[in-house]
Chains A and B, each alone.
Chain A
């Protein structure tokens, strides 16, 4: 099985407090810790496990600047066989549909049986997998949390509401977006990262991919960033730890929180 996994370098939200810059044009990026989008990491692990079972190879691809090379190497240290970087100044201002258009071009340069993406990334849109599948006229399933190999097709479980799972049979080639929890992504040690440090990673730009700048012109544009106003907000307890705990216990008792 030849598998392509689409990955993205994103600020790690579990490690960072994301803040908006002074003029609201971007988030403050100076001190952010970047890593592989969490969902993508599960997708790469799943691809490696499938190839371990049925043979084939795993290629990881990303659309990004030169810094994104580090996450390709990380996923290769995990066990992916090849990496491809899609990089061009023109890619920076595109939207989700533009990213899917760029990825479509690289899919058509190869011969893949299965294409995986993470269920979503930093913007929470979860759009690229479904768009890519439609552009390629391949079947698609989102939020996949189980994959079983069948002959010439797959049996996939999709996460649906209420802790339930929707089972489907899907023909190959297909595109799946992978939900967290489908597996346990393996640990990547420093030795693994050193091993792939000098592996050649090809870079493709707009003209290599044969797409026009017009084809990836954004229809959806971000205007600004701002701090969300979701509700009135919590009453934040202040004071020494002892004072906070005393207030908190009083509140919990009055609301029936301590039996």
Chain B
């Protein structure tokens, strides 16, 4: 395999994202002997800080220091990458909101294959890369064959590859001039911080978290009753906030709050990776779901396959009786 492998490094406030070292590990699964190049774009001192921080895991780090990419505008960065990358390259990008914005269009402009949200890599045979993905909200997995003869853009899900040990000792190369100048028809304005609610679920020891399985808004009452009996706070997954049944600050997940409770009750929550991405510190997790195939049962400590609408009121009554 003579293709070069690049990893796009996402960073914030001078600190590389956890994905930086995971992409290096994913690259090794594609080609264990490959010389890996990291790409760090941004503006000011932070670019050097990030470039130096990731150099240990990559044989080379390309840095681009330009005012236009002080905030990562995917359209501008895409244009610069097209200017810089050799034809036929394999480009790894983390499957975060920026990666989802950048990657599909980048694959079109580079005229390469594209695979999104990769959770495993089974290796290369000739020009065919074998990849593992999940479909249908994680209920089933698939092996996917990707023709990499003309290169590929691959989005890698966080937490799926063990971060690479730091031993490559790469050199940092300034590629600012090669990035060129790119104009954009989409202009970044500002980041609006999420609202802060009356309840801070990030501080709760025990969370009773409800998902789509609750069915109707009126049924939330049984969740509130259980939380009251347990002395817990109520949190939820995304569909509950989308339906405006609970407020956004109660949402657990990558697009909501990151929580660190001791005990997490997942009620009628299927367990998408975006939801699980918001739970840190390995709490004791109990999942109650009527779908025995729900992905949540793969990560929970204890599971109950039951209709929550019948099961939870009984559980609440027993807890109350016990007191």
A binding-site residues for B, Cβ under 8 Å: 11, 13-14, 17-20, 27, 96-97, 100, 122-131, 133-135, 138-143, 155, 157-171, 174, 180-181, 184, 219-231, 233-237, 241, 244-246, 248-249, 251-252, 255-259
Contact = CB atoms under 8 A, between A and B. Distances in A.
A219 B108 contact: no
Contact of A125 (B116, B255, B256, B315): B116
A98 to B, nearest CB: 11
A245 B318 contact: yes
Contacts of A165: 191-192, 194
Given A17-B291, A143-B97, 17 more contacts: A96-B114, A97-B107, A124-B134, A126-B116, A128-B104, A131-B105, A140-B74, A140-B186, A162-B194, A220-B147, A221-B144, A228-B141, A234-B287, A236-B302, A236-B304, A248-B286, A257-B232
B192 A13 contact: no
Interface residues of B, number: 99
Contacts of B163: none
A12 to B, nearest CB: 10
Contacts of A221: 144-146
A222 B107 contact: no
30 contacts: A11-B136, A18-B139, A18-B293, A27-B140, A97-B108, A97-B113, A122-B135, A126-B117, A130-B100, A134-B78, A135-B108, A139-B75, A141-B101, A142-B100, A158-B101, A162-B255, A162-B256, A162-B258, A165-B194, A167-B191, A171-B186, A174-B185, A221-B145, A222-B145, A223-B142, A223-B145, A228-B141, A234-B287, A234-B300, A249-B319
Interface of B: 74-75, 78, 96-98, 100-109, 113-117, 130, 133-147, 150, 184-195, 205-206, 212, 229-232, 238-239, 241-244, 248-249, 251, 254-258, 262-263, 265, 270, 284-287, 291-293, 295, 297-306, 311, 314-315, 318-319, 322
Given A100-B108, A245-B314, A233 B298 contact: yes
Contacts of B137: 13, 124
B116 A224 contact: no
A231 B301 CA distance: 10
Contacts of B262: 255-257
Contact of B144 (A162, A222, A228): A222
The 9 closest A-B pairs by CB, nearest first: A163-B194, A130-B104, A259-B231, A234-B303, A257-B263, A134-B105, A230-B298, A181-B242, A134-B108
A259 B299 CA distance: 24
A257 to B, nearest CB: 4
Nearest to A136: B108
Contacts of A142: 97, 100-101
A20 B188 CA distance: 43
A158 B191 CA distance: 9
Contact of B286 (A131, A164, A233, A252): A252
A166 B193 CA distance: 9
A237 B303 contact: yes
Contact of B193 (A164, A180, A241, A244): A164
Contacts of B105: 130-131, 133-134, 140
A230 B293 CA distance: 12
Contacts of A126: 100, 104, 116-117
Contacts of A160: 97-98, 191, 255
Contact of B139 (A13, A184, A241, A259): A13
A97 B300 CA distance: 36
A129 B104 contact: yes
A161 B158 CA distance: 13
B186 A141 contact: yes
B11 to A, nearest CB: 13
Contact of B101 (A11, A138, A143): A143
Which residue, B186, B243, B287, has most C-beta atoms of chain A within 10 A?
B186
A224 B142 contact: yes
A256 B293 CA distance: 28
A104 B238 CA distance: 32
A236 B100 contact: no
A167 B248 CA distance: 18
